[in-house]
Amino acid sequence: MSITQQHLLDTYRARRLGTPVPPAPGTHDVQAVRGLREYLRFRAVLAGRPAGTRLRLALRRRSRRQARPSR
């Protein structure tokens, strides 16, 4: 059963029972990703590591390598 079919079935059941309809799939994906990112930053601080993003640090290292004159 696909996610869409499950959502339609849950919506049908909720309407028949008079309960609130569940949110559509993907509605809260952005919030979930942000929450995960904040959790990982929090864990990094507890472990004594910098809380900055690894992507930003990697891009900074790469830009420094490209800025050096080639021999």
* Cα gap 25→6, rounded to integer Å: 10
- Higher pLDDT: 69 or 17? It is 17
Question: 69: pLDDT confidence band, cut at 50, 70 and 90?
Answer: low
The 3-state secondary structure of the chain reads: CCHHHHHHHHHHHHHHHCCCCCCCCCCCHHHHHHHHHHHHHHHHHHCCCCCCCHHHHHHHHHHHHHHCCCC
Domain ranges of the chain: 3-67
0.75 cut: is pTM over it?
Answer: no
pLDDT tens across 13-66, in order?
999 999 999 999 888 999 999 999 899 889 988 998 877 767 777 788 888 877
Question: CA 54, CA 59: separation in Å to the nearest integer?
Answer: 9
